[in-house]
Amino acid sequence: MVITMVKLSEEMKSAFSKVKIFPIATASREGMPNVVPIGFCQLVDDEVIWIADNFMAKSLANLKENPNVAIFVWGPETGGCFQIKGETEIISSGEKFEKMKATVHAAKPGLPAKNLIEVRISEVFQCAPGPGAGKKLL
Ligand SMILES: Cc1cc2nc3c(=O)[nH]c(=O)nc-3n(C[C@H](O)[C@H](O)[C@H](O)COP(=O)(O)O)c2cc1C
């Protein structure tokens, strides 16, 4: 499927950079939800996120049958909260994959670095409480 990608604002990118662990939600084809904490989640540019699959089991199985993910970006220092929706591609060889693997191994040699999950950001929503909660931002 061809999706329309959106670009995170400077404020959103700054919030993203302050988060250490991201909640990554996936769903099976039947819609059974699954959410996991993920440390290796980096913003590659304004509209693409890379997630390193080291230990994914249900998450990976879900992504193979349903490429959609949701991530919320919040931490004590983010000064707000927003929610990202995106479509993923599972990449297990090639230049991008090797780059992800090098980053993972630089942080902790021996981690499996099984797949690169590339997320193309398609929508962003306000997630902070208040009158704007849930509104589509991008
Ligand atoms: C703090 C923390 C950070 C984690 N970071 C990663 C990560 O970067 N990559 C990864 O594949 N799993 C990571 N995990 C493991 C996943 O959260 C999870 O255990 C794994 O995806 C298996 O769950 P699943 O079967 O629901 O996919 C992390 C777990 C914790 C507690």
> Measured in angstroms, how far is the CA atom of residue 56 from the centroid of ligand 1?
6
pLDDT score for 3 = 86
pLDDT tens-place values along the chain, 138 residues long: 678 999 999 999 999 999 999 999 999 999 999 999 999 999 999 999 999 999 999 999 999 999 999 999 999 999 999 999 999 999 999 999 999 999 999 999 999 999 999 999 999 999 999 999 999 999
The closest-lying atom of ligand 1 relative to the alpha carbon of residue 36 is: 17
> Measured in angstroms, how far is the CA atom of residue 36 from the centroid of ligand 1?
6
At 32 the three-state DSSP class reads coil
Delineate the domains of the chain, giving CATH numbers in brackets.
10-126 (2.30.110.10)
pLDDT score for 1 = 62
**Spatial CB neighbours of 53, under 8 Å, sequence gap ≥ 6:** 59, 60, 90, 113, 114, 115, 116, 117
